[in-house]
Amino acid sequence: MKDRILEELRKAYPGFVSGARLAQSLDISRVAVWKHIETLKQAGYDIAAVKGKGYCLHNGGQAIIPSLLEKHLHNSPWGSPLYFATQTESTNRWARQLLDSEPLIPDGALVLAATQTGGRGRMGRKWSSPQGGLYFSLILRPNLDLQRASLLSLVLAVSCARSLQNYINYPCRVKWPNDVMIDGLKAGGILLEASGEMDRLAYVVAGIGLNVNQTLLDLPVEVRGLATSLIAVTGQNCDLNLLAAHLLKDLQQDYYSFLQEGFAPFLEAYKQFCIHLQQPISVNNGKDQIIGINKDIDENGNLLIEADGKLWSISTGDVQLIDFQGEQ
């Protein structure tokens, strides 16, 4: 019933819906409507009540409504079951906790939150997760060993960038291994966490965070020169339900293609989307700081960097762009 109320408020946005109209359309009492509204407000939905007007869902164009997202997914195998909270510490952490208590959760289950209080990126970095972004984790059960599963990070990154580019009609790129970049600035990232044996994984939790409707002022001061959002480059708010459904459909298609065909079909696409191929970069691999030209990316997803008269193969590390000049 609460989801139906949210859908009615979403349809009326930015206008109001009276309690009487909600009661009539849902065939419940006005007192029941009020109780459901209070429960939704306690869950984190910003719903205003104005005497003589009724109820209005603030930022209704951006609010995540699980039942609406499920309709957009059209019974896709991904997104079922769907776990949603208006706030959680981390969707990856929540997904792992769910797996501890429900070990038979199927491939493609979706864990989604409107905000995160402890979102994380690669190398333990904090991922700021204010209202207006898209933060979700997928529970995946690929029949892969650990080495091949590491390529899944690159596959999901290029899939995400390509899907976003088609959705907003604006160039999106990737920074190795799995950052989503727009205009040389970070718009999103992917964090994979796996469990199982070296030769057979029990599951992979793929966390994806995207800056969508946040303005630059919504982002932490320390990252404003390094990060961007979809609204910052397009000037338009995105419906998070539609965007999530669009993205999930593309990710699902590419994920199963990868399982069937391997990384080879994605390698060329990754090179095309890579923002620093044939460009100078700096890479910190935990032991050395390597500065050189990114000559190629090999079939194992490694960076090939020409530096100091030799070709380095980098399997892990943090890439920094040097003298990025924008799209040519």
Kindly report the CATH number assigned to the domain that includes residue 302. Answer: 2.30.30.100
C-beta separation of 35 from 5 below 8 A? no
User: Tell me, what CATH number does 21's domain have?
Assistant: 1.10.10.10
Q: Domain for residue 326, yes or no?
A: no
128 and 201, same domain (yes or no): yes
The predicted pLDDT at position 325 comes to 63
Least confident interval from 52-56, 107-111, 118-122, 132-136: 118-122
CA quadruple 241, 244, 250, 254: dihedral sign: negative
Spatial separation of the C-alpha atoms in residues 24 and 5, rounded to whole Å? 12
**Residue that terminates a domain, selected from 57, 76, 101:** 57
49 and 159, same domain (yes or no): no
DSSP secondary structure of 202-226: EEEEEEEEE--S--GGGS-GGGTTT
Structure-model confidence comparison of residues 94 and 68, the more confident one: 94
pLDDT > 70? residue 254: yes
182 and 281, same domain (yes or no): no
Exposure b/e, 257-289, CB count within 10 A at least 16 = b: ebbeeebeebbebbeebbbbbeebbbbeeeeee
pLDDT > 70? residue 30: yes
How many domains, in total, are found in the chain? Answer: 3
16 and 81, same domain (yes or no): no
Least confident interval from 127-131, 134-138, 149-153, 248-252: 127-131
Could you report the per-residue pLDDT of 299-327, keeping only the tens digit for each? 999 999 999 889 999 998 999 998 766 65
Q: Which structural domain range is residue 229 located in?
A: 66-272
Q: Domain for residue 288, yes or no?
A: yes
For residue 142, whether the previous peptide bond is cis, meaning omega lies within 30 degrees of 0, is no
Q: Domain for residue 328, yes or no?
A: no
302 and 282, same domain (yes or no): yes
Give the CA angle between residues 82, 98, 3 to the nearest 5°.
30
pLDDT > 70? residue 249: yes
The predicted pLDDT at position 157 comes to 96
Average pLDDT taken over every residue of the chain: 90
The predicted pLDDT at position 77 comes to 82
**Residue that terminates a domain, selected from 31, 57, 83:** 57
Could you report the per-residue pLDDT of 209-245, keeping only the tens digit for each? 999 999 888 888 888 888 999 999 999 989 999 999 9
Q: Domain for residue 230, yes or no?
A: yes
What are the φ and ψ backbone dihedral angles of 101, each rounded to 5 degrees? -95, -25
Q: Domain for residue 80, yes or no?
A: yes
Q: Domain for residue 255, yes or no?
A: yes
Could you report the per-residue pLDDT of 265-297, keeping only the tens digit for each? 999 999 999 999 999 999 987 788 899 999 999
299 and 251, same domain (yes or no): no
User: Tell me, what CATH number does 72's domain have?
Assistant: 3.30.930.10
37 and 116, same domain (yes or no): no
268 and 287, same domain (yes or no): no
Q: What is the mean pLDDT of the segment spanning 52-78?
A: 86
Q: CB within 8 A of 266, min separation 6: which ones?
A: 154, 155, 158, 254, 257, 258
Q: The whole model's pTM is what? A: 0.89
23 and 106, same domain (yes or no): no
Q: Domain for residue 141, yes or no?
A: yes
13 and 137, same domain (yes or no): no
C-beta separation of 160 from 173 below 8 A? no
219 and 94, same domain (yes or no): yes
The predicted pLDDT at position 124 comes to 62
Q: Domain for residue 47, yes or no?
A: yes
pLDDT > 80? residue 151: yes
pLDDT > 50? residue 328: no
Q: By percentage, how much of the chain surpasses pLDDT 70?
A: 96
80 and 199, same domain (yes or no): yes
